Structure 1
Amino acid sequence: MSFFPGNDPEPGDAFACDAIENLIIPRSSDIGGFEVRRALPTRQRRLVGPFIFFDRMGPAVLRAGEALDVKPHPHIGLSTVTYLFDGEIKHRDSLGTELVIRPGDINLMTAGRGIVHSERTPENLRGHPLSMSGLQTWLALPDDKEEIDPAFAHTAKSDMPLIEADGAAGRVVIGAFEGLRSPVPTFTDTLYVDLTLEAGRRFPFPAGHEERAIYILAGQLTVAGDTFAADQLLVFRPGDAITLEGGPDGCHIMLFGGAALNSKRYIWWNFVSSSKERIEQAKEEWRSARFDIVPGDEEEFVPLP
C-alpha cells in the first residue's frame, strides 16, 4: 500500500563521488505521528532494478489508542515487500492469507493480474503504545510475469543467510550477495541486503548487479571520501566497484537493485503496468467491485482516488 500520497522526493546537494549517479532526499509526510519517507519513484529516478517504490516507515511510536489500519486495497503488476525493524503488522489478502509479520521476516506478496490486501495492527497489540519501523518496497514484475496468478510467500528471519565479518553484520534478504543466497523467490535478478557497518569499517559493494542503490537508515556512510547522512538514497553508476565505509557513528544501510526492466513501467496509485490501458482496466475493475474480497476484512475498503 502507498501509505501517503506524497510528492516527489527532492534531489540532494552536490557531491564529489563520480560513482554516484543520483542523490535523493526522500520527501516525508506525517500521518498522525507516523512519519513515512518516500525515496522512489522520483522525477530523476523512477526505478532501481525492479524496485519501483521505496518507503521508509518510521521509526515512530503509535500512542495507546492509535493503530495502523490500511484498509483492503488492490494491486496489479508488482510484488510488495514488507520488511520490519520494529513492531508487528497483520497481513490479510484475497488469497485467504492471514499472518502477522514480525521484525526481520519478509512478506512477499505478488499481485500479478490482481490481488487485494489489508495491513493492520494486530488485535492483541491495540490499546498499547507500539513502536513501528520498517521498509515497504514494490518490485515491478518483468514483462512476461505481469499477469501471472497472485501469490504470497513469507520467509522467516532465521531462514535468511547472515553476513558476518569484522565490523560488518547483516543478512541477505532477497537475491544473492557475497556468495550467499536468500530463499525468497524472485522473478528477475534482485538484490536486497540489510547491512550494519561499524565506524571506519570498509566493505565492498561489487558491480555484479546491473543497477544498485543504498538507502541509509541510520548513522553516516562514507563513499570515496564523501560522507552521507541518514535518510538519503544513493544510486550508483553501473559497472563501478564501490567501497563502503562506516561513518563516525557507523551506519545501518539497505543495499538494493538488480536487473533493469526491458520496457517502461507506468505507476498509478497501487497499480503498476507496462500498459496504460491495463491500468485503466484495473481502475474500472476496482471501481465496479470486480476484484476479490479479503476474507475476515470485508467491511471496509480504500476507494479509488
Structure 2
Amino acid sequence: MYKSIIIGTGPAGLTAAIYLARANMNPLIIEGPEPGGQLTTTTEVENFPGFPEGIMGPDLMANMRKQAERFGAKFVTGWVESVELSQRPFKLQVDGHGEMIGESVIISTGASAKYLGIPGERDNVGKGVSTCATCDGFFFRGKKIIVVGGGDSAMEEANFLTRFATGVELVHRRDELRASKIMQDRARENEKIGWSLNKTPLEVVATGMGVTGLKVRDNTSGEEEVLETDGIFVAIGHTPNTAFLGGAVETDEHGYIKVKPGTSETNVPGVFACGDVQDSKYRQAITAAGSGCMAALDCERFLEGSITHDWSQSL
C-alpha cells in the first residue's frame, strides 16, 4: 500500500515526487519505457529558470529525478495497463509488476505531439524539426521556417515564429484552413507568412548539418517539389495520454483531464492531475512543474485529512 502513486515522469510528475518525498509521503513513481517526457527529445532548454546558460533537456530531467530519489521517492518502470478508481484504495495494473495499490493517485502522463509520419521527420526532431514554437523558435532567428498545419495552433505558431524568422511558409494539405476566421485573418495580415496550401508533405529533407527542406506534392497537379527551409514546425495538435484510464476520470472532448479550477483535483476524490495531461493551452516545462507542485500539495492535504491506518512502503 502506498500513500501516493504518481504516473508519469515529466516535469510535472517529478516535481510532484520531489514535494511528496520531502513531506515523507514516500511516493511511488511509475515511469514508462521512455521516462522524462517530451523534454527528453529536446536538445537545449533555455527558458527554464535557474539555468542562464541553458541545459540539455535529458540532463534537466535526470537532475529532477535524482532530486526526487534523494528524498526517498521510489521508481518502477512499466506501462499502466488499467486502473480501478471507483473506490479507495485505488488499484493500478502495471505491466511487469502486477497490481499496485495507493490511497491517492497523481496522473501526469502528458500529451504526445502528433507527427506527420513521413520519412526523415522523427530522425530530425531536435535537429530542425520541432512541435513547439515557444520552446524552439529562438534558435531560428534570421532563418526560414515552415509550419505544417491548418488549425488555430498552426496560425498561432506561424505568427509567433515571425518574431525570429526572416519568413514563415505555412503548409497545409487542403486548400481550406480549419482555423477560426480571426486566426486566419491575423496570419494573412502578417507579411512574413507565405502560403503553400493543398500540398501534402512527403519527406523531411536533411543533411548531417540539419534540415534543409520539406518535399511536398501538389494535390492538384501531382507535381513534387522541395521547399527550402532551415526548420520545420509540426502544428497538427496533441493527444493527451489518457486512453489507459478507460473513462475512470472525467475528460473534455479532446481527452484532456478536467480539473477543478485553481486546483489539480479531478472529479474523483484522491485522484489529481498535473502537467500537459490537463493543460491544452500552455504546454511548457515550467507550467507543468508548477502544476506538479500544486498536485503534491493538494494530495498531501487530502491524505492528511483521510488517512486512518498504518502504511508500509515495500514493493
- How does the TM-score come out when normalised to structure 1? 0.27
Q: Which protein is bigger by CA-based radius of gyration?
A: 2
Give TM-score scaled by structure 2 length: 0.27
